[in-house]
Chain A
Amino acid sequence: MTQLMSLDGLTKAYPGVVANDDVSLSIASGEVHALLGENGAGKSTLVKMIYGLVKPDKGRMRMNGADYAPAEPRAARAAGVGMVFQHFSLFDALSVAENIALGMENAPRMRALSARIRAVSETYGLPLSPDRIVGDLSAGERQRVEIIRCLLQEPKLLIMDEPTSVLTPQEVDILFQTLRKLSAEGTAILYISHKLEEIRALCDAATILRGGKVVATCVPSETTARDMAEMMVGSVLKVPTRAGKVPGETVLKLEGLSAPAPNAFGMPLRDIGFDLRSGEVLGIGGVAGNGQDELLAALSGEMTVKPGMIRFQGTDIGALRPTARRALGLLAAPEERLGHAAVPDMTLTENAMLTGAARERLEHHGFLDWDAAKRFANNIIERFDVRTPGPSATARSLSGGNLQKFVIGREVMQRPEVLVVNQPTWGVDASAAAAIRQALLDLAEKGAAVIVISQDLDELMEISDRFAALNEGRLSATMPALGLDVAEIGQMMGGTHGMEVAHV
């Protein structure tokens, strides 16, 4: 394999933090190279430099033996570097072809472009009709739009940022076959992920970053996942522990829960039913956009539902709003931290007030007790090890993991009877994620019932007693989590969403 790209001593400092410190690595043509590291380890900064979004302070990059210093993404793309971002930049209201045309320098005519999109999608097993409206696509299909957008430029190096976080296991398999085909054709792939088993299955080499520095390199297939995790974290990883426990009485009962989609691109809930008993953790899997947000809204009270659909300790609570449900002991933590679970520009004290007012007695006859709220915020910060200057820091100023610890901590500290969390560890580093999972398990241990909605199957298998999956707004039957295999889970999640294997 010939050397395609080499990075030599790349350094990039932001005020107060060195994001990348003397990072070197090299990628050969056709190599699948993993970039591993916790959140904040400097992975994003590094790929942003390669993609021309950020200019390094020091160091140099070479591509095919020549100096490579893209001033902007356009230059990077021209040089043959493509990138699929974790967060898609697509317009819901436009078609696939229109979205792709928007990202191109000299977009061909629509008809020619559609033909090319079809050709590429055929070749790489990414079936996608160019005329479909992006708003109607599943997350997996949206990702295909982004991948095809890159492939149309025939990249020599493809950067993929956490591509599997939105896919079912079957979809992951298909993506991997596509990537292997690309790699066999000589395209190098820089693969960012924290899912270690995937990296072991796919990647030829791995570079591990910690605190902006390269701390190790390894051949993933010859290294255990646990070793890689410990290299990433720099310490021995604490795996959440749980004690087997007999669940108690039914606290929450959903029966025939149906609700129309709250907006044009939402998902209606269709006939969802389950019993939740105290002391158990129910894991709800499924690909993003299959009703997760809507189910959380129906449980938290943001969306009220018809009588008889939701019973909490025997009482019909379908018509109750969030404050009343909280008072009963049904608490929730939504997926989107900024703007939903927390107000970005408000302080942690104010964000503690956001949901804690009633249960923590931060409010007397409508008047708010800010001193008490500050104490409450301080307690959360202390008990959940939230790294922040203090309760008067704004939510926006916290890193994703720390804010998530705060958000989950805020609900856990209020001693819920039932806690519903959506994507509790999304975008959170490994040690914070472990702490959050442990907190959820401890909560169940003390007799609360916990519903964890997540797209991270490993997480769900780790902490759930029972498992169910959302697909198109329907919930599968719940199964004991112990002993479920990946194929069964995949079927529960709705199979492959029409994906097929690459026509190699």
Chain B
Amino acid sequence: MIRLEKRPEPSRAFALAAPVLAVVATMIAGGMLFAALGNDPVASIVTIFWEPLFGEFAFYYRPQLLIKGAPLVLIAIGLSLGFKAGIWNIGAEGQYIMGALFGAGVGLAFYPAATWYVFPLMVIAGAAGGWVWAMIPALLKVRFGTNEILVSLMLVYVAEQFLASMSLGLLRNPEGMGFPGSRNLQQYPSAYNADLIAGSGMHWGVVAALVAVIFGYVLLARHRLGFAIRVTGEAPRAARFSGVNPARLILFCLGTSGLLAGLAGLFEVSGPAGQVTIDFNVGYGFTAIIVAFLGRLHPVGILLAGGLMALTYIGGDIASSNLGLPAAAIQVFQGMLLFFLLAFDLFTNFRLRLGRTEAV
């Protein structure tokens, strides 16, 4: 018989090794999946993990890594704060959309004024949009004890309806000949979130993501609020005893994650995406949940996990266009990554015992 036995102390070695083991296991299981679909497993894995970084067209893919990775990291940092405290914001996708709408809305309101303060105002508006959207589940939870998981998730669909309505109505490009979608902000220099170094993919969102990583790290390691978050996650009663105000913590965690998701949306709509369209959101808000856990809720881990996730996205795209792998297979592959991570994560706190053991 196989049984799990709780370790007396969590294993540090396993905590560090689990993500690596999860990636390796994903490669093996994913390879088997691709082989079953009739593809060369080794070539598929190499395409996904190697091609974007060191392949022939890496000069094109590397900036893409930053563009895809930045929103994931930015959102995941915010989510990780709440997750650490047991506050589950599942609706970052909606906050991301609202951030984009608020930010783009402000930018378009100034069109075609050419002044320096348009973009900063858009950043503030984007952050505010995400924050407001996250404060809805936060206030409902604090005031009425509603479940933030359900409320924040349902608000994603509300936000999607807003997005559709905006791109068909209020924000539609008046010179767009009736097509849905707003003006392209890439063609409005005051509002354009351009690459800081041309062609590098390094836009303001990437900077914001890096700042968020540092902010998250300092907050958790050095600040009272971060300590309150960690204590609340570990032992809610001890947190109350030590003086943490649970309501304030909920407002802070949900608010911060919404704010960062809103920023991610703003940087995306004003940069790589360029315009508000019906299908503007591509699931960064949900994928960031995976990124947060893959990075085991640690800011530096999230930075690495965001990079890895972006890599599988881009590698997956290449694999599906070059090798004809179905998009669903790529999604399964990404799902495997989370599955294996959670599975290996178990062994941080438990150890596997074969045969009969005595219960203690």
The proximity string for B residues 1-20 relative to A, scoring 1 for CB distances below 8 Å and 0 otherwise, is 00000001110000000000
Q: B208 contacts the other chain (Cβ, under 8 Å)? A: no
Asked if B231 and A346 sit within 8 Å, CB to CB, the answer is yes
B113 beta carbon closer than 8 Å to chain A = no
Q: How far is the CA of A342 from the CA of B235 in the complex (A)?
A: 8
Residues on A with beta carbons closer than 8 Å to the beta carbon of B353: none
Q: Are B241 and A341 in contact (CB under 8 A)?
A: yes
Asked if B234 and A322 sit within 8 Å, CB to CB, the answer is: no
CB under 8 Å from chain A, chain B span 224-240? 224-225, 227, 230-231, 234-235, 237-238, 240
A455 to chain B, nearest CB (A): 20
Residues of B that sit less than 8 Å from A by CB: 8-10, 222-225, 227, 230-231, 234-235, 237-238, 240-243, 245, 358-360
Contact A322 B240 (CB under 8 A): yes
Q: A300–B241 Cα gap in the complex (Å)?
A: 7
Chain A contacts for B241, CB-based, 8 A: 300, 302, 322, 332, 334, 340-341, 354-355
**Bound CA span A370–B225, Å:** 14
Cβ–Cβ contact B238 & A341, under 8 A: yes
Choose among A323, A338, A397 the residue that contacts B243 (Cβ–Cβ < 8 A): A323
Give the complex CA separation of A491 and B238 in angstroms.
34
Knowing A53-B360, A394-B9 are in contact, say whether A344-B223 is a contact too (CB < 8 A): no
Q: Mark A380-420, 1 if CB is under 8 A from B, else 0.
A: 00000000000000101100000000000000000000000
Q: How far is the CA of A394 from the CA of B243 in the complex (A)?
A: 21
Within 8 Å CB of B222, what residues of A? 367-368, 370
- Across the interface, do B242 and A367 meet the contact criterion of CB distance under 8 Å? no
Given contacts A53-B358, A366-B224, contact A342 B243 (CB under 8 A): no
Chain B residue numbers with a CB within 8 Å of A324 are 243
- Residues of chain A contacted by B9 (CB below 8 angstroms): 394, 396-397
Check B223 against A321 for contact (C-beta < 8 Å). Answer: no
Give min CB distance, A126 to chain B, whole Å. 29
| With A343-B234, A344-B235: A321-B358 Cβ-Cβ less than 8 Å | no
Q: How far is the CA of A312 from the CA of B247 in the complex (A)?
A: 26
Known contacts A339-B235, A339-B237; is-contact A345 B245 (Cβ 8 Å):
no
- Cα(A426)–Cα(B10), bound, Å: 27
Q: Can you name 18 A-B pairs with beta carbons within 8 Å?
A: A53-B359, A55-B358, A301-B243, A322-B240, A326-B243, A334-B241, A340-B235, A341-B241, A342-B238, A346-B234, A353-B227, A354-B231, A354-B238, A354-B241, A354-B242, A366-B224, A366-B225, A370-B222
**A55 surroundings in chain B (CB, below 8 A):** 358
CA distance A483 to B178 in the complex (A): 94
**Which residue of B has the minimal Cβ distance to A370?**
B222
Q: Measured between alpha carbons, how far is A367 from B234 in the docked complex, in Å? A: 20
Contact, CB under 8 Å: A367 / B235: no
Residues of A within 8 A of B (CB): 48, 53-55, 72, 300-302, 321-324, 326, 332, 334, 336, 338-346, 350, 353-355, 357, 363, 366-368, 370, 394, 396-397
Q: Of all chain A residues, which has the CB nearest B226?
A: A368
Which of A54, A301, A326, A367 is close to B223, meaning CB atoms less than 8 Å apart? A367
Flag if B359 contacts A343 (CB, 8 Å): no
> Which chain A residues lie closer than 8 Å to B225 at the CB level?
366
Contacts A326-B243, A340-B238, A344-B235 aside, 12 further interface pairs with beta carbons under 8 A come to A302-B241, A321-B243, A323-B242, A323-B243, A332-B241, A336-B237, A338-B235, A340-B237, A343-B235, A350-B227, A394-B9, A397-B9
**In the complex, chain B residues whose CB is within 8 Å of the CB of A301:** 243
B235 in contact with A72 (CB, 8 Å) = no
Closest to A327 in B: B243
Q: Measured between C-beta atoms, what is the minimum distance from A357 to chain B in Å?
A: 7
Contact of A367 with B224 in the complex, beta carbons under 8 Å: yes
CB distance from A63 to the nearest CB of B (A): 19
Contact A368 B227 (CB under 8 A): yes
Q: Which of chain A's residues has its CB closest to B238's CB?
A: A343
**Which 7 A-B pairs rank lowest in CB-CB distance, beginning with the nearest?**
A323-B243, A322-B243, A340-B237, A354-B242, A343-B235, A339-B235, A343-B234
Q: State in angstroms the CA–CA spacing of A55 and B357 once bound together.
A: 9
A451 CB to nearest chain B CB (Å):
16
Please measure, in the bound complex, the distance between the C-alpha atom of A292 and the C-alpha atom of B88, giving whole angstroms.
33
Contact B358 A322 (CB under 8 A): no
Complex: A302 Cα to B241 Cα, angstroms: 6
Name the residue on B nearest A16 (C-beta).
B8
Bound-state CA distance A343–B10 (Å) is 14
By a CB distance below 8 angstroms, the chain A residues around B242 are 322-323, 354-355
Q: How far is the CA of A60 from the CA of B225 in the complex (A)?
A: 56
User: When chains A and B are docked, how far (Å) is the Cα of A55 from the Cα of B360?
Assistant: 10
| B195 to A: closest C-beta gap in Å | 35
Please report the C-alpha to C-alpha distance between residue A334 and residue B360 in the assembled complex, in whole angstroms: 27
User: How far apart sit A231 and B242, CA to CA, in the bound complex (Å)?
Assistant: 40
Chain A positions within 8 Å of B234 at CB level: 343-346
List the B side residues contacting A340 at CB < 8 Å: 235, 237-238, 241
Q: Could you tell me the distance between the alpha carbons of A397 and B9 in the complex, rounded to whole angstroms? A: 8
Among B224, B245, B358: residue with most chain A CB under 10 A: B224
Q: Tell me how far the C-beta of A282 lies from the nearest C-beta in chain B, rounded to whole angstroms.
A: 21
Shortest B251–chain A CB gap in Å is 15
A332 to chain B, nearest CB (A): 8
CA distance A370 to B224 in the complex (A): 11
Chain A residues with CB below 8 A from B360, complex form: 48, 53-54
| Chain A residues in 8 Å Cβ range of B243 | 301, 321-324, 326, 355
CB distance from B162 to the nearest CB of A (A): 36
Contacts of A339 in B (CB 8 A): 235, 237-238
- Inter-chain CA distance A334–B9, complex, in Å, is 24
Chain B residues whose C-beta falls within 8 Å of the C-beta of A342 in the assembled complex: 238
Bound-complex Cα distance A354 to B242 (A):
6
Q: Which has the most chain A C-beta neighbours within 10 Å: B227, B234, B235, B241?
A: B241
A211 to chain B, nearest CB (A): 20
Task: State whether B235 touches A54 (Cβ < 8 A).
Answer: no
Contact partners of B8 in chain A: CB under 8 A: 397
User: Which chain B positions have C-beta within 8 A of A53?
Assistant: 358-360
